[in-house]
Amino acid sequence: MSDPASRYAAAEAERRHPVSASFASLQKFDLDPFQIAGCHALEEGRSVLVAAPTGAGKTIVGEFAVHLAMREPGDKAFYTTPMKALSNQKFRELQDVYGEGEVGLLTGDTNINGNARVVVMTTEVLRNMLYANSPALRGLRYVVMDEVHYLADRFRGPVWEEVIIHLPQTVRLVSLSATVSNAEEFGDWLDTVRGDTAVIVSETRPVPLEQHVLVRGDLLPLFDDRAGVATAQVNQELTRIRSPKGATFENNRRASEYRSRDDREARRPHRGGRRPVRPSNAQRIERIDRPQVVKLLGQANLLPAIFFIFSRAGCDAAVQQVRRSHVKLTTPAERDEIRDIIDDRLAPLQDEDLAVLGYWEWRDNLERGVASHHAGLLPAFKEVVEELFQRKLVKVVFATETLALGINMPARTVVLEKLEKFNGEARVAITSGEYTQLTGRAGRRGIDVEGHAVVQWTEGLDPQAVAALASRRTYPLNSSFRPTYNMAVNLIDQFGRERAREILESSFAQFQADRAVVGLARQVKDAEASLAGYETSMTCDRGDFTEYSGIRRDLSDLEKLNRADRTAPSRIRAQRQKDLQSLRRRMQRHPCHTCPDREAHARWAERYWKLRRRTDKLRRDIETRTGTVARIFDRIIDVLTQLDYVTFEAGTAALTDAGRTMRRIYGERDLLVAESLRRGLWRDLDPASLAALASCLVYEPRRDESGEYGLPRGPFREALVRTQDLWARLDDLEQDNRLPGSEPLATGLARAMNSWARGATLDRVLEEADLAAGDFVRWTKQTIDLLDQLSMVADADVAVAARRALDAVRRGIVAYASV
């Protein structure tokens, strides 16, 4: 930007946006153009959608919104994230800037300074505040929705849309998203429901990414840079390795030497084509083990690294492999610092619990600079791993893909051992969007001049397929919005039924469906013009050829059916013969049958009927898409009306007492919880039994479970059976109203939750639950969330039991909080 015109334009932009310029001068890095554009839009009073790659610095725009709020006394800013770990991280970062007194944290199970001017929270907390019309909303000027592409999540996504729709129009919205291929469509919807919204898209990574394939001991570039970046041509060396059929004798001799030689000292990644081609047989190339890969990356100065392994057991096994090989990646001084951080962070945990959790081996691995990171790990352990990795003390992390979802843990290198994962039903290839998300962790801004993505060679690997994954940026953002019972009663309570339907029709889900309808309607219109042309071409002066061709078509269809279904009973075949004879007589008697141009007309008729079938299908598609969300809402209202949660007086919908209770019951089983409370199914439960039953309502097992061995007896069993019977009746009612219903109750955690609430030791409870510590803590916190709701909405007996259950369950590793 050395020319005078560019300098003048930049100076003029700074003059028009003085707050942005002042904020930019406080940052560690010069702001990128997309960051500057986002800040300018906010300073102009607009909302903004920023879509940019992982690690590009989108959060700067969110932080500028907080900066704007803090400039005006009384103004507030909420910063929402999809995960508690992200909320905790952002809470600490904002505290460092604005001080402890100005920043709060609300994550369901944590409430710190909730009335502060800047509050970090999970999106669900904000949704609940909106429905409750919380006083904390007064003075709210900015809401930052970090990782807003989460609205595509099947289970939690609808909450994002609820918040976007229900926020007061005076609130400016800052939506931060990963790179999606339909950002403009999402931005158009935001503009529709939120008002003036700037859409800012950047596909530029702040740190360039080098792509490699690890073939035994060599890091080969995925792309041949001699062909130019625009062509993204695959390195021919990789192609020859996969397909050695055309190799010369000399190349085959080299390939043999390449396969048999010992591992050489690892070399830095090199550009395509600068080494002699070494074709070889992919099936004969052995993968080097993980300790060797770690050593190779270390020698090539490519640490720290994240290895993405799509299984928890695989992550833990990888750490053990490195441990057994005696790899040590840290200096004595780093090991001392690691010990100090661990001792400080985990001081609240009891020694006997730490022993159960394999603490000493985990600590020793960290001191070596190696760790795993997955959902089964105790949250406290995960947080320590994240901090040590950010401080460059841990050099290698073996992680599941959950690490790629927003947590600030960039590395120099990302290694993908496989390009497929188990989705719960089968092994499937990862998508280009997932590949981009995972490799987006590579490259630390201000530290690395480039990041590195390494794919390990496996039998059958296709370099062209890898190149397609690395080159494509197809990550569409599709709504997962659907009305719930809780949403329905809250909307009716605040707006009435008709206004509620209008609000739901403004959802992104309906916006996308309506856009699809526009395209379908255009196809129908074009088809109708073609049909009119076909009708003209098959016009017969002897009679109605459309009618005649219809008879011929019915006759042809019936003849095909008769030939194909030769096993039909004789009675049915006899009836078909009668129908065939009748159709033949009608066809022969039709005036068009004797037309000399009959077959020419028939060819046009064939085109007519083929297009007519396709057009009828398009019309049916339009009918199913138009008003989809509102129709589901109507079915939900029908269920609520039949159960007396909603009544109609003079055509106006109103809530009953039961409906008003349901307003404060959130979760997948809102109707079952509300009905159980109304019917008094849980009145006889003591606190431990109530905690056990609550776990049955939230727990989702990772595998099929059978039997009810070890479940608490007495009142618990009776309450469980009654609740299961109620679930079955409600499920039938939902099916009758063309709603999808829900899964049966899962009892797999009940025994362990009952024991935990009665004071059992951690080792016994984990054995009874057959769960990893991280899973137990996660499901227990969801149980706590439900118990907390019961303590506020249930009748006195159940409310008291719920409060006592909360006190009993919230202890030990469950009570631990890092902030």
- Tokens in use for 230? 């625009």
pTM: predicted TM-score of the whole model, two decimal places: 0.79
Cβ atoms within 10 Å, residue 102: 16
CB 112 within 8 A of CB 121: no
Q: Which residues of 516-554 are buried (b: 16+ CB within 10 A; e: fewer)?
A: ebeebeeebeebeeebeebeeebebebeebbebbebbbe
Longest dimension (CA), the chain: 101
CB 109 within 8 A of CB 173: no
Cβ atoms within 10 Å, residue 298: 18
Cis peptide before 269 (omega within 30 of 0): no
Q: How far apart are CA 61 and CA 42, in angstroms?
A: 8
Q: Would strands 172-177 and 103-106 be described as parallel, antiparallel, or unpaired?
A: unpaired
Q: List beta partners, residue 223.
A: 234
State which amino acid sits at residue 541.
Answer: D
User: What share of residues in the chain are helix, strand, coil (percent, to 5)?
Assistant: 55, 10, 35
Show Cβ contacts of residue 489 under 8 Å, excluding neighbours closer than 6 positions. 640, 645, 646, 655, 659, 660, 662, 663
Question: Between the CA of residue 192 and those of 74, 165, 188, 257, 510, what are the distances in Å?
Answer: 28, 10, 6, 65, 12
Predicted local distance difference test score (pLDDT) of residue 246: 39
Reduced to 3 states (helix: H, G, I; strand: E, B; else coil), residue 339 is helix
Q: How buried is residue 76: exposed, middle or buried, by Cβ count under 10 Å (0-12/13-18/19+)?
A: buried
Show Cβ contacts of residue 179 under 8 Å, excluding neighbours closer than 6 positions. 51, 52, 53, 201, 202, 203, 436, 473, 475
CB 154 within 8 A of CB 480: yes
Instruction: Measure CA of the first residue to CA of the last residue in the chain; give whole Å.
Output: 44
Q: Would strands 140-145 and 209-215 be described as parallel, antiparallel, or unpaired?
A: unpaired
Considering only CA atoms, which of 59, 7, 5, 6 is closest in space to residue 32?
Answer: 59
Predicted local distance difference test score (pLDDT) of residue 30: 87
Show Cβ contacts of residue 247 under 8 Å, excluding neighbours closer than 6 positions. 240, 255, 279
Q: How buried is residue 561: exposed, middle or buried, by Cβ count under 10 Å (0-12/13-18/19+)?
A: exposed
Q: What is the CA radius of gyration of the chain?
A: 32
Q: Using CA of residue 317, residue 323, residue 325, residue 328, what is the dihedral sign?
A: positive
Residue the block writes with tokens 């889900």: 509
Q: How far apart are CA 50 and CA 29, in angstroms?
A: 19
Q: What is the mean pLDDT of each run of 10 residues along the chain (819 residues)?
A: 63 80 88 94 95 86 96 94 84 92 86 92 92 91 92 85 92 90 90 92 86 87 64 76 49 40 42 39 63 92 93 92 93 96 92 92 95 91 91 94 69 90 75 82 85 88 83 77 93 91 86 72 76 86 88 86 76 85 90 90 87 81 71 94 93 92 92 96 96 96 66 92 96 93 91 96 94 93 94 95 96 79
Q: How far apart are CA 346 and CA 201, in angstroms?
A: 41
